[in-house]
Structure 1
Amino acid sequence: MFAKTLAACGLFTLALVANAQQVLIPAPPQLASSAYLLLDADTGKVIVEENADEQLPPASLTKMMTSYIVTSELENQRISEEDLVNISVAAWKMGGSKMFVREGTQVSVIDLLRGVIVQSGNDASVALAEHIAGGEDAFADVMNQTASLLGMTNSHFVNATGWPAEGHLTTARDLSLLARAIIKDHPQYYDLYKEKYFSYNGINQPNRNRLLFRDDSVDGLKTGHTEAAGYCLVASAKRGDTRLISVVMGTASEDARAAETQKLLAYGFRYFENQTLYSAGDVIENARIWYGEADQLALTVAEDVMQTIPRGSRGSIEVALQLPDTLKAPIKKGEQVGTLTLTLNGETLAEVPAVAQAAVPEAGFFARIVDAIKLFISDLLS
């Protein structure tokens, strides 16, 4: 996979360098939106971003957090899909997009969840917030605590719906983290985001994500719109083994948010790919070890090393294995003994532990004496 050369850099360093290849990647598209971001869902690599940390009103993209909390409650068995939720006057009177539940009735959690995700129902969002936390204000506290746990450092939620409110703000980057959590943390509920229609109370409503009807690779997530927020869309698509998440905020129309999202997704899938550069357990190098029952230590990585890279650039990746000058037994299986660093065009892609593939026990007394003499002579000659 890589050609080998040696280099010295303080600690002993083994560099694995392939012949450099010229890979031409065009500039990313410029979108007609306030902020946008394109992320690889598996590696977390940001491929494109613009104003990604600008705090903006999220409109109904807020409901992604509402649904994430609901599915968390379901998975932790604090509520069940069949639980009946009382519909309050506050939920029934909500304006904007609605599921059209009736005040004084009871609706199952799973129906309300579909009402939130597919129909973007403000009434369903409030009903679930009241059911889980006792009130929408208390639910907003749960939303903010959850945001903090997910690393959404620039978000603050005031309500469960995205209804315009002072201080109700998030960012494109934070929304990409939330979308990734929805996909990764609660996969059994992710299929709800690709449902094209949901019928309740005799009213059949389509999903507002137009890309679900245009692009078979798109299978979520959520739209949003208010006058202040503009037209927004968080979408995810999977082609082959690659899943991308796009966030587009503040476009001018429903058509625009779909078209701008398609530009991002097309760019990402056309010019980037996931590559497993090393697999867990594969031997990456055999290193000399002293004072052990064996004199060679096979090094590996504990987990697959997957990276999002420009298509065709794998041969240009430089990999440096940094080890101490002298490795000494005993070494336990899985013990970190060095660091593997991957770079591409001067950018560090990853730094991962290099670990022992197998244990190397300490050798007997006389074998250790022999190694001590060999090391002494080696130091004299170096």
Structure 2
Amino acid sequence: MKRILALLFTAFSLAAQAQAPVPPEIAARNYVLIDMTTHKTLAERDADAPQDPASLTKLMTAYVVFGALREKKLTLEQTLPVSKRAWDERKGDPSLMFIDTTMTPRVDELLRGLIIQSGNDAAVALAEGVGGSVESFVQLMNRQAQAWGLKNTEFKNVSGMTEPGHKTSARDIAVVAAHIISDFPEYYGYYSQRDYTFNKIRQDNRNLLLRRDPTVDGMKTGFTDAAGYCLVASANRDFPNGKRRLLSVVMGTASKEARASESQKLLNWGYTAFDAIKIFDAGRAIATVPVWKGQTKEAKLGASDAVYVAVPHGDSAKLQTQVERTDPLVAPLNKGQRVGTLRVTTTAGAPVAEVPLIVQDAVPVAGIFGRAFDSIRLWIK
């Protein structure tokens, strides 16, 4: 049985029947804008359409390498050989780090070459170092995509060169980028570096927004004839209630300048058209509910993190929250166990957000007499 507890908050003003703000015209084949603070999609166009990802592929390449570093399968100071296959990436005038078979670059250097210089040769060297072969590494990439439920993604290579069946979507690539930011903050700094010099060859990061907007701190560009000019951009801006991160993906623009300007336009619109409202602080009990057959008679329910929602800027009515929980709650209950959902809606009933509710403190099972007494009470109830 589900029990619903309605809670009305009046400390902030929001629209009862808000119309979603209309995004600006974006000159891109596909795009998506994600508010990472509230986990809400703010705008999109054909975000699930499979597309050639070009070098946006290297986001997943990097993610798998970051995972190997965390699992201590290699270290940043470890050197890797450069195979003839990595050297052969020079064919066709792709993006390169300019490593050759006489070198043994460190993993840290290869990651900078992959992320900042977008080196296809660095992608191959890292893939062989982690997976043993490019083919085995691509399997790791696809396995991770499947684990995240990315139904419009299939990788055929590690660099993003056009190949039949090699595809992803704007929304899927946003998921990969968001996981890098949240899962590997210790490595995210690579994406904000504006240039990198290796073997006396200096190359600028192709993400023009790193020089134009001080709040942009990543992430990745891409280009092939099939993909057009693509950019994943992330910005983290200060607001009175804390920092707020937005993530944009634009695919299929006409030029380097267009992918930067259209991404900037999308980010600026997201920050001005929507407000991020904190409803509950992290660690705060959202509801206190009765527990049966437990050593304590109540349990505090809350969210794992602070609860934010994204709402149109300048709205004037109230938000309504409802707690839906299992009833009866019977001990034992483990700390962190999900037992309900916090639903946030407008007063007109339009959904805004759903947040899992978890038990904040464990409730052990009561002794034999306490359990027996509550069993009788539940039977009468």
Q: CA deviation at 1:69?
A: 1.5
Residues 101-131 of structure 1 deviation map (CA, whole Å, 9 limit, x = unaligned)? 1233221111111111111111111122222
Letter paired with 1:352:
P
Structure 1 residue 33 corresponds to structure 2 residue 28 = yes
Partner Cα separation in structure 1 for residue 37 and residue 7 of structure 2: 25
Q: Which moved more, 1:173-182 or 1:274-283?
A: 274-283
Aligned match of 2:194: 196
Structure 2 equivalent of residue 5 of structure 1: none
1:209 to 201, 207, 210: 207
Question: How much has 1:140 moved relative to structure 2?
Answer: 1.6
Deviation of the 1:338 alpha carbon: 5.1
Which structure 2 residues correspond to residues 231-380 of structure 1 after superposition, within 5 A?
Answer: 231-240=229-238, 241-285=243-287, 297=298, 299-310=300-311, 311=313, 316-322=318-324, 334=335, 339-344=341-346, 345-353=349-357, 355=359, 359=363
CA RMSD of aligned residues (A): 3.4
Contact 2:138/2:157, CA 8 A, preserved across alignment: yes
* Structure with larger RCO (C-alpha < 8 A, sep 6+): 2
1:6 aligned residue: none
TM-score normalised by length of structure 2: 0.83
Q: Report the secondary structure of 1:139's partner residue.
A: helix
Deviates more, 1:64-73 or 1:259-268: 64-73
Amino acid at match of 1:304: D
- Residue 151 of structure 1, aligned match among 115, 124, 149: 149
Q: Which moved more, 1:102-111 or 1:270-279?
A: 270-279
- In the alignment, the residues of structure 1 paired with residue 294 and residue 81 of structure 2 have an alpha-carbon distance, to the nearest angstrom, of 69
Counterpart residue number, 1:7: none
Residues 354 and 256 of structure 1, relative CA distance in 2, 3 Å threshold: same
Q: Which amino acid aligns with 1:84?
A: T
Q: Hey, what's the Cα distance between the residues in 2 that align with 1:133 and 1:362? A: 51
The structure 2 residue matched to 1:177, chosen from 175, 178, 186, is 175
- C-alpha separation between the residues in 2 aligned to 1:85 and 1:11? 56
* 1:80 paired residue number: 75
The 8 Å contact of residues 14 and 319 in structure 2, kept in 1 or not, is answered as: no
Is the contact made by 2:35 and 2:245 (CA closer than 8 Å) also made in structure 1? Answer: yes
Residues 283, 306 of structure 2: 8 Å contact kept: no
Corresponding residue to 1:219 among 212, 217, 220 = 217
Aligned partners of 1:130 and 1:333: how far apart in 2?
Answer: 43
Q: In the TM superposition, what is the alpha-carbon distance from 1:238 to its structure 2 partner?
A: 0.3
1:14 counterpart residue number: 5
5+ long unaligned stretches in structure 1: 1-9
Residue 214 (structure 1) shift: 0.4
- Residue 45 of structure 1 is matched in structure 2 by 40
Q: Secondary structure at the match of 1:232?
A: strand
TM-score (norm 1): 0.83
Count how many residue pairs are aligned between Structure 1 and Structure 2.
366
Q: CA deviation at 1:321?
A: 2.9
Identical residues among aligned pairs (%) = 39
Letter of the 1:275 partner, please give it. I
- 1:278-300 CA distance string (max 9 Å, x none): 23543444557789998x74643
Secondary structure of the 1:106 match is coil
1:52-73 CA distances to partner (integer Å, 9 max, x unpaired)?
1100001111111111112221
Residues in 2 aligned to 1:58 and 1:251: alpha-carbon distance in whole angstroms: 12
1:132 deviates by: 2.1
Larger radius of gyration: 1
Q: Provide Cα deviations, 1:183-235, integer angstroms capped at 9, x if missing partner.
A: 11111111011111100111111000000010000011100001110000011
Cα separation, partners in 2 of 1:162 and 1:362, compared to 1, 3 Å? closer
- Counterpart residue identity of residue 145, structure 2: A
Write out aligned runs for 1:47-196 (5 A). 47-93=42-88, 94=90, 95-196=93-194
Secondary structure of the residue aligned to 2:235 is strand
> Structure 2: which amino acid aligns with 1:110?
D
Question: CA separation of 1:302/1:219 partners in 2, compared to 1, >3 Å: closer, same or farther?
Answer: closer
Give the Cα separation in 1 of the matches to 2:350 and 2:142: 37
